[in-house]
Chain A
């Protein structure tokens, strides 16, 4: 700055001093005072050499406007100011507009401030500064940084260059100008008891949670502050008490979990260890702080009651607050985690910390939680590794998201499901979705679960622990939280390898596919020649009462059927499992009811073909066997009648020919029915489901679970669509499709029996006629009358009819004679029975067709169409109402029917 300028400044300053200070009477004193003042004023101004040229007039105007609005609550003054300001801007005369406005702003004081001044003994200075600082900070958050920084810098500079000295009057403590805020604070708050210096000395202890002279911990989480402290100090101490108290509680937590070692979970232990480490870092910070405080207090001399020297060294309570800020945040976070982690373990605990590290916007919290997470998850990843590579669950504290079921739990689960027998695959391990930490997605966790489960299954279920060990040796990798991408990749790899191995084992070693084929061939009657042969050879056995059956007979017949059919080319493995046995006997049943084929499935294939599904297979088999049996019976009956018609029956056609005609029609209807039913079940139900099953088995990357599901689906679709599952959906069990079909089949069998009766009647009639004509011939040969009076009129009538008389079926019944009682009484009974059974069958078929037509399933409706091809049954179908009526009439009739 030029001397010229300086002179002008000096001149201006002296004028100012002269103007403001009053004239003193004593001229010397006056002169001295003014000179003194001038000197000091120069000093003050020199210390601010850096001109405030950075002051932007618009900025300072903004501050002033806001201040005016704030002070007056109305905007008229602010408007006036804005007006004046814009006028000022147009004037070219002055350059430092901003500076001048700044000066005016500095000197301004509002009414409120004036009041404060009048009350506070310590003058304008502090309040003016105080009111300025927040006003800037509050009003202009975006621009506040620059001016406040300038202020701080200038303050420091001022302190350093011109150490505080009394201005004019040396005896006044508050006489100095422009002090640091801390100094001002100290000035306002006259020496306190205990002094800030003493508090500072105690502070390191307090921060470590140790009681000291002034600051004592009265109990677990209370810090007692000394009384009579000024409010600002108390608030500072409050801030500082937070880390101290948090530290105390956290170290208590760490100690507690250390002493409880072995009881809490591994993740909890690692959490407490990680927190312990963080606390160590905190302690080292406190140690650094203590060093600072020591260094500062070493320059302290006794007479400095405000601790100004210490302040100069830069150590104040306020600064300590700043220093401990970050650590406090960390402690707070840990405390929050510890609070939240009570009663939590394993995965849940990790989830809590993970939530902090992902969902928190604060980068500090984020990084801190991440650091914590890395160490906390270590035991979890160890568990994961063992699970993924060894298939072993070593989880003594139940922290992993896979739970090994106890025996009782498995048994209980089985009871719950009634009939789903236990399976190693399904029940041994369970996925606990609550315990899945949020660091992994549910799909990922499921994958992990499958890997471990498969490995375990390979080891124990498939007796292939060799492979597992080899695999775990070669593939085992360190898993950690640091690199999630590679973790995912590793898991994927492990998943692929394990699944491939398992499927390989299932297909090659345990011949799963072969077993499924065999089940279809034998239990679902896929192998036609075998079944036909078996039925043929067994039929005579099975017609007898069930209690006369012997198992060795059955197995011998089975063996025979196998030998005689293409089934002999099946592998020994499959044939060994095939067995014929009887269901539990109940009184009065015949062989047909109790016979069953069985295909034995053992571990580990029973994972797919569970005992439950075996039972389903048996159910399907029994149903199919029954249909087959009816078909067989009807077929053999048909054969018999057809041969009979050419021989025996032809000769009695005059008497029972009509009956036979009707009966043959009816049996043809039945055969059609059975054939369609069989066709439907074999080709519409079983084959398409089988196709689907094959497709899903051959799908690449299919897992055992997929396989199990596919098989389950296969079986369900068979049982459901094969009309067997109709019961679950129909309203009453007796009207279910299965029951209806059973009734219809039963009717067929009775009909066949009745026809057998008719047949034997006809044969008896035939024999009698043979005998009669033989007698006549013998008599004729002997030269007597062929027919005598002693012969029965029936015979006569029969002979007459045979020789051209018109057959009148009814008229001969009444006058039958004793010797023909049996046949003649039987015939009408049989006729009535046949009629009734025909009606019964047709009615039942009608009901069934009505039900089928209203089915939602396309295939089932189509079955109905096939049954009544050419709309044969059109009358009986009708609308829902008529069907219902029919059924009620039907059930009424059915009760009376002897079956």
Chain B
């Protein structure tokens, strides 16, 4: 997990961690069901200019797919 958890820019690990902490807390408040890894991936994507709505749609779709795949199994 730690390996994946550092995709953010080289702005100091502690600062990045703080950001992810806060965002994770918000996401739990909002019941987004995102774990820290996914969250940090999303943050980096968005920082790179991805449209949040599109990203949200992608994530939802992926989740649904995975749920289906798991059911199939």
Contacts and interface: CB of A to CB of B under 8 A. Distances in A.
Chain A interface bracket (under 10, 10 to 19, 20 to 34, 35 or more)? 35 or more
Given A12-B48, A93-B8, A100-B46, A177 B59 contact: no
Contact of A50 (B23, B42, B51, B61): B51
Nearest to B66: A21
Contacts of A184: none
A111 to B, nearest CB: 8
A45 interface: yes
Nearest to A23: B69
A103 B49 CA distance: 12
Interface in A89-135: 91, 93-96, 99-111, 114, 123-125, 128
A15 interface: yes
A872 interface: no
Contacts of A168: 61, 65
A13 interface: yes
B57 A16 contact: no
A889 B60 CA distance: 117
B52 A103 contact: yes
A49 interface: yes
B36 to A, nearest CB: 11
B26 A104 contact: yes
Judged by DSSP, the binding face of B is helix
B6 interface: no
A178 interface: yes
A229 B16 CA distance: 54
Contacts of B37: 19
Given A108-B30, A109-B31, A44 B23 contact: no
B52 A12 contact: no
Interface in B46-73: 46-66, 68-70, 73
Interface string A810-839: 000000000000000000000000000000
Interface in B17-44: 18-19, 22-23, 25-27, 29-34, 37-38, 41-44
A52 B48 CA distance: 12
A840 to B, nearest CB: 114
Contacts of A68: 29-30
Interface centre among B58, B62, B63, B73 (most CB of A within 10 A): B58
A417 interface: no
Contact of B60 (A105, A111, A125): A125
A9 B45 contact: yes
Contacts of A106: 52-53, 56-57
A94 B44 CA distance: 9
B50 to A, nearest CB: 5
A273 interface: no
B29 A80 contact: yes
A563 interface: no
A50 B22 CA distance: 27
A22 interface: yes
A124 B64 CA distance: 9
A55 interface: yes
A20 B63 CA distance: 7
A291 B7 CA distance: 57
Interface in A17-34: 17, 19-22, 24
Interface centre among A47, A87, A100, A167 (most CB of B within 10 A): A100
A21 B62 contact: yes
A52 B38 CA distance: 20
Contacts of A37: 62, 65
B62 A16 contact: yes
Contacts of A12: 7, 41, 44-45, 48, 50
A100 B15 contact: no
Contact of B51 (A48, A77, A87, A93): A48
Interface string A381-401: 000000000000000000000
Contact of B16 (A24, A40, A64, A93): A93
A40 B62 CA distance: 11
Contact of A94 (B7, B27, B47): B47
Given A91-B18, A99-B52, A104-B23, A177 B57 contact: yes
A160 B53 CA distance: 18
B7 A44 contact: no
Contacts of A123: 64
B67 to A, nearest CB: 9
Contacts of A105: 30
B48 A5 contact: yes
Given A20-B59, A99-B52, A107 B70 contact: no
Contact of A88 (B19, B30, B38, B41): B19
Contact of B45 (A16, A87, A110): A16
Interface centre among B15, B44, B46 (most CB of A within 10 A): B46
A88 B62 CA distance: 28
B1 to A, nearest CB: 10
A20 B35 CA distance: 10
Interface centre among A88, A99, A177 (most CB of B within 10 A): A99
A37 B64 CA distance: 12
A5 B30 contact: no
B46 to A, nearest CB: 5
A22 B23 CA distance: 25
Contacts of B52: 52, 55, 96, 99-100, 102-103, 106
Interface in A45-62: 45, 47-52, 55
Nearest to B16: A93
Interface centre among A48, A67, A93, A128 (most CB of B within 10 A): A93
A178 B57 contact: yes
Given A88-B23, A104-B30, A44 B45 contact: no
Given A48-B53, A91-B19, A107-B30, A15 B60 contact: no
7 contacts: A9-B49, A20-B59, A40-B61, A102-B56, A109-B32, A110-B31, A154-B53
Given A8-B44, A100-B43, A106-B53, 19 more contacts: A9-B50, A16-B41, A20-B63, A22-B69, A22-B73, A44-B54, A44-B58, A45-B50, A45-B58, A91-B15, A91-B19, A93-B19, A102-B56, A104-B27, A105-B30, A106-B57, A107-B33, A107-B59, A125-B60
Sorted nearest first, the 7 A-B pairs with minimum C-beta distance are A106-B56, A108-B30, A48-B51, A48-B54, A103-B52, A107-B32, A102-B52
Interface of A: 1, 5, 8-9, 12-13, 15-17, 19-22, 24, 37, 40-41, 44-45, 47-52, 55, 64, 67-68, 77, 80-81, 84-85, 87-88, 91, 93-96, 99-111, 114, 123-125, 128, 154, 167-169, 177-178
Interface of B: 4, 7-9, 11, 15-16, 18-19, 22-23, 25-27, 29-34, 37-38, 41-66, 68-70, 73
